[in-house]
Structure 1
């Protein structure tokens, strides 16, 4: 399974969110696909005010302040 993680440089919330995802990887089998929104005008327009963004199976599960319980709940129901 893949978890898409939209991020950008100089984003403290993104650093925290990545650590949460890496911690959850220890209990759930998934690959983190990191996408820097500054490499795509489309991603910047879509997610510029939302980052970090966690997407699972094409669904935005959470953005901004990432809560490990919300992400884990989604992973448990796949």
Structure 2
């Protein structure tokens, strides 16, 4: 079973679209599944992530919009998915 990255997003979010494309690029290298959640469909998620989406989460580790770029995502994935 592949590891699963949780991706918090919302519609009409350019940063989210860019982050998803970047995440999908790394998906080919690191072999993981992406579980996407629209924060607008869940009040708790909306309250928690409204100001920080897109957010990528693996277990209890998160990377948000402020931190997200190719280098930090690569490091995040290496640290969390390396055997």
* Matched residue SS, 1:38: helix
State the match for 2:47 in structure 1: 45
- Over the aligned positions, Cα root-mean-square deviation in angstroms equals 1.1
State the match for 1:55 in structure 2: 57
Structure 1: gaps (5+ residues): none
Q: Distance in 2 between the 1:8 and 1:77 partners?
A: 27
| Structure with more strand by fraction | 1
Structure 2: gaps (5+ residues): none
Shift of 1:26: 1.0
Structure 1 segments, 4+ long, off by >3 Å, are: none
- Pick which of 1-10 and 63-72 moved more: 63-72
- Pick which of 65-74 and 9-18 moved more: 65-74
| Structure with more helix by fraction | 2
State the match for 2:33 in structure 1: 31
**Number of residue pairs the alignment of both structures matches:** 77
Q: Distance in 2 between the 1:37 and 1:15 partners?
A: 14
Shift of 1:47: 0.2
Shift of 1:73: 1.1
Q: Distance in 2 between the 1:11 and 1:76 partners?
A: 27
